[in-house]
């Protein structure tokens, strides 16, 4: 019963910090950039940040983002990092990519603020970071 009450409270406490649709900003060269939030789902129909999966589209690339998990081995506490959504993968044998959307949680800025897309080639020890900042929802 205690778990049922706890899970119900958590489910009601989860709320979207963004609207589905297009957000536009500027990159570091002041050129327009954009990200489209296309979906928000919860694995197993359990509305908890650890189960949240957010689909985005950037430059004709579809990416599914998740909250990173915070595990405190001393206390046993498990929680979701709520300041960003991220995904990482190897696109080639020596190339790793990471995509992060940073979320604001202050008055007037509750939602995505900027994103970064990192590429790293371990063979040549080269990296590239693309940043899109000042994201604003397009109504």
At 74-133, the pLDDT tens digits run 999 999 998 999 999 999 999 999 999 999 877 666 789 999 999 999 999 999 999 999
| Total number of domains in the chain | 1
Residue corresponding to tokens 């950039």: 33
Which residues, in sequence order, are bridge partners of residue 25?
A: 33
Predicted local confidence at residue 108, as pLDDT = 64
Predicted local confidence at residue 50, as pLDDT = 95
pTM: 0.83
Q: What distance in Å separates the CA atoms of residue 113 and residue 120, rounded to the nearest whole number?
A: 24
3-class DSSP string for the chain: CHHHHHHHHHHHHCCCCCCCEEEEEEECCCCEEEEEEEEEEEHHHCCCHHHEEEEEEECCEEEEEECCEEECCCCCCEEECCCEEEEEEECCCCEEEEEEEEEEEECCEEEEEEEEEEEEECCCCEEEEEEEEEEEECC
Range of the domain at 73: 2-137
CATH value at residue 88: 2.40.128
Residue 80 has, within 13 A of its CA and on its CB side, a CA count of 17
């Amino acid at each position: 019963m205690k778990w049922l009450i706890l899970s119900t409270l958590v489910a009601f406490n989860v709320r979207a910090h963004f609207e589905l649709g297009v957000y536009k900003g500027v990159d570091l060269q002041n050129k327009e950039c954009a990200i489209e939030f296309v979906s928000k789902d919860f694995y197993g129909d359990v509305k908890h940040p650890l189960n949240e999966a957010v689909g985005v589209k950037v430059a004709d690339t579809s990416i599914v983002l998740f909250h990173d998990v915070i595990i405190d081995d001393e206390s046993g506490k498990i929680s979701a990092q709520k300041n960003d959504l991220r995904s990482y993968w190897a696109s080639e044998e020596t190339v790793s990519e990471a995509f992060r959307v940073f979320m604001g949680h202050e008055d007037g800025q509750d939602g995505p603020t900027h994103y970064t897309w990192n590429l790293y080639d371990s063979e040549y020890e080269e990296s590239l970071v693309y940043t899109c900042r000042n994201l604003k929802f397009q109504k």
